[in-house]
Structure 1
């Protein structure tokens, strides 16, 4: 009788059937931490670099937008490439490219001088050399980093049953929070002691350490010798039927156009379009915001930023667990996730209080923005998992890439809008008005996204390819 007893989630976590899949989750967490460390160095050095090179808010917005635009376009291809290369090599190549690109930032000035004749020839002679160099480096960084989430979501779909995927996604996605916490602690110190060039070089080189562990510990579950037979059976307990490698259905490549024919794809893409820009805004503009409105620079931003991003870890892991509450009440995974996402979408409304109470202390906006950022991470853990809820594994990375492209485009729009608003209102001596407008968008974006997603896909409807 005991051999046929259904394993509960609690027993699973306690290791009754083995827990090697959580080792894989740890690798995804480490890679995501490195991913966010690399992308946040520039935002923390922005006050120093803006003063050194004479950048305007629009200059910085253009540099950030190049990263986001390249990231957005590359996400579309990254998902397809990873589906074809497989998770192991697809993830490895992504990290190699983005780590080298992170190091390339240290050589932004000579890089800018090298590409300046090309840009001049096509009519962009007015762009400063330093801006050009960082734009090129950010473009390569965006190309490489676009592979992180499609690969991580694909690995999660490979190693976790549906009921555990949002928790696993929440855990590995919390690496973005750890990266955001470590960056303000380490970047200003390295820059002040060794210079901004060494900061990019040192932080960029960290990723290569991950490759050693990745190649040693990762293999697809069917070839993974470290998995017990019971854990392998548990992982595949709710998976789609396994096709023979030589079967026509297994070999079929699912086109982007076919995937775009499903409302489920558009629901995911719109949710990313509306909300990813909020996270990009918090990540790229908060150091500048704390400097402009509260005079915090260098190591002074370490404590408030570390506190703010520490809050987001609660949202990431807690948001991953939250749908389980509804699933245990009898809702299917998608319906439970959507109910959780509606509750999560209410918390960013507190960001509306950041500016009105900011005159009392900068800790009020730090607190309310921290709640909004925490809610974003909870939202992110769930919106990613809606893909693996409804699409077969062979198309998960491709659909994630389509949504990631939409999210990147949303990030470009938000970043460019921020740069324009801040320059406009700074000339009027009212830059706080620009931030108030941006915070208002950040507050309502999630409710708008949820409403459209629910309209497009009101009930659980798995996609048959």
Structure 2
């Protein structure tokens, strides 16, 4: 048997790596390089990340439908092409701001008196330029997971999909892992603008490989009969569902997707948990600078961020756990996945210790956040795979898009709340469980992140207590 399916899985992994590298550039440059130039505070950054999240959410709602309509190959090419262009567009935000306010260069922007009317104008104008670039990035990035999940359903049988998903989903951790090793150094050496351009260009390289490497398994010369038979081992069950769709009713409509409890279960699980990962992704560099005075361009800052995302790499085993449960207990894939997700939902509770242990050393909160991030990625690999368990292939990208929209809305609310909370906490010297100011604000958000997975799991289980394959009626 050939193993070309794992080559395709590797391509999905690299695409997700590039996806998260592009997403990380702003979080690793704003506090040290961009903030002084444009006179930002946490509320400006919170607005940018929250609007990115909601725009990403809206795009996710339609991205899955777009991928289903366009086809996996072309849909993925469009997605990564748009988001790579959006990543590069960030580099023009400084020039746009200078032209708008009538100042000659970045040095003139920095020299404006803090708190003045001009400083507020610079902060506002630059924020809107970054929001525009961020929206282009979101438009393209919204297509990554619907396309990748669809490819996984095409190339892997149900029992292997969570493991394959955990492998390509680990690209998020690898992207976040390599980001602190490259982006701050690029920004320090060549300016923050070049960091966006260099990282953004990687997506165009990936596109060149995808054009020649992807075909459907049944059409690919590198997939032999034995591998194709392995990939299509669930075919009889899926053909029965397809027969019902083709002979009794048309394919599932967009509105009809919302009539299934399985859709709402997936969407709520994403709503509760996606924002947690994005909070860790977007705010940890700023947290280290605010709480400990550690910059991401310095050796200790690089080491801390690298360690955090190195820990999240443990999530690659998270996708394997349902397979082990299936082999040991004989449970169906959905039941095994839900059992695994319950286990993962307890690990983020360790994030509650981040602030108390941070009084001893910055390494402790980084380790706690890293464990929470690893649990999220393990959870994420499995919650994505529940879509393939319960829905026909023709609807997978659409349902994934709906769940992505819900996750984006949850993230928007958390990012907006966090940005305003940190400014409020700093101005009022907010107190919470022994912490004051912005550290108290971070503690509040950590508490929300810690319990989000258990709440999400309980509601998912209540909506879909047992495995039930969706049949279009």
Q: Structure 1 length normalisation: TM-score?
A: 0.92
Aligned length: 440
Tell me the SS of whatever aligns to 1:227.
Answer: coil
Deviation at 1:40, TM superposition (A): 0.5
Distance 1:251-1:45 versus aligned 2 partners, 3 A rule:
farther
Tell me the SS of whatever aligns to 1:237.
Answer: coil
CA distance in 2, matches of 1:255, 1:266: 16
Equivalent in 290, 293, 301 of residue 291 of structure 2: 293
Tell me the SS of whatever aligns to 1:434.
Answer: helix
Q: Which residue of 2 aligns with 1:264?
A: 262
Q: Which residue of 1 aligns with 2:335?
A: 335
Which 10-residue stretch deviates more, 371-380 or 424-433?
Answer: 424-433
Q: Which residue of 2 aligns with 1:391?
A: 391
User: Is 1:203 equivalent to 2:199 in the alignment?
Assistant: yes
Distance 1:65-1:249 versus aligned 2 partners, 3 A rule:
farther
Tell me the SS of whatever aligns to 2:239.
Answer: coil
Contact 1:244–1:250, Cα closer than 8 Å, also in 2 = no
CA distance in 2, matches of 1:365, 1:296: 13
Equivalent in 73, 77, 80 of residue 92 of structure 1: 77
CA distance in 1, matches of 2:422, 2:242: 57
Deviation at 1:244, TM superposition (A): 9.6
CA distance in 2, matches of 1:395, 1:186: 38
Q: Which residue of 2 aligns with 1:441?
A: 448
Q: CA RMSD in A?
A: 1.9
Q: Which residue of 1 aligns with 2:310?
A: 310
CA distance in 1, matches of 2:91, 2:253: 39
Tell me the SS of whatever aligns to 2:274.
Answer: helix
Q: Could you list the per-position Cα deviations for residues 41-73 of structure 1 after superposition, in whole angstroms to 9, with x for gaps in the alignment? A: 000001121122110111011111121111000
Contact 2:285–2:296, Cα closer than 8 Å, also in 1 = no
CA distance in 2, matches of 1:75, 1:115: 32
CA distance in 2, matches of 1:248, 1:323: 32
Q: Could you list the per-position Cα deviations for residues 169-193 of structure 1 after superposition, in whole angstroms to 9, with x for gaps in the alignment? A: 0000000000001111000110111
CA distance in 2, matches of 1:346, 1:419: 27
Which 10-residue stretch deviates more, 214-223 or 28-37?
Answer: 214-223
Q: Which residue of 2 aligns with 1:22?
A: 6
Q: Which residue of 2 aligns with 1:175?
A: 171
Deviation at 1:428, TM superposition (A): 2.6
Matches within 5 A, 1:53-68: 53-68=38-53
Structure 1, unaligned stretches of length 5 or more?
Answer: 1-16, 117-123
Structure 2, unaligned stretches of length 5 or more?
Answer: 102-119, 430-436
Deviation at 1:254, TM superposition (A): 2.2
CA distance in 2, matches of 1:114, 1:384: 44
Matches within 5 A, 1:56-455: 56-112=41-97, 128-239=124-235, 240-241=238-239, 248=246, 252-300=250-298, 301-315=301-315, 317-328=316-327, 329-429=329-429, 430-455=437-462
Contact 1:29–1:174, Cα closer than 8 Å, also in 2 = yes
Deviation at 1:307, TM superposition (A): 0.6
User: Is 1:52 equivalent to 2:52 in the alignment?
Assistant: no
Deviation at 1:110, TM superposition (A): 3.7
CA distance in 1, matches of 2:359, 2:131: 35
Tell me the SS of whatever aligns to 2:259.
Answer: coil
CA distance in 1, matches of 2:136, 2:249: 32
CA distance in 1, matches of 2:226, 2:125: 59
CA distance in 2, matches of 1:310, 1:336: 27
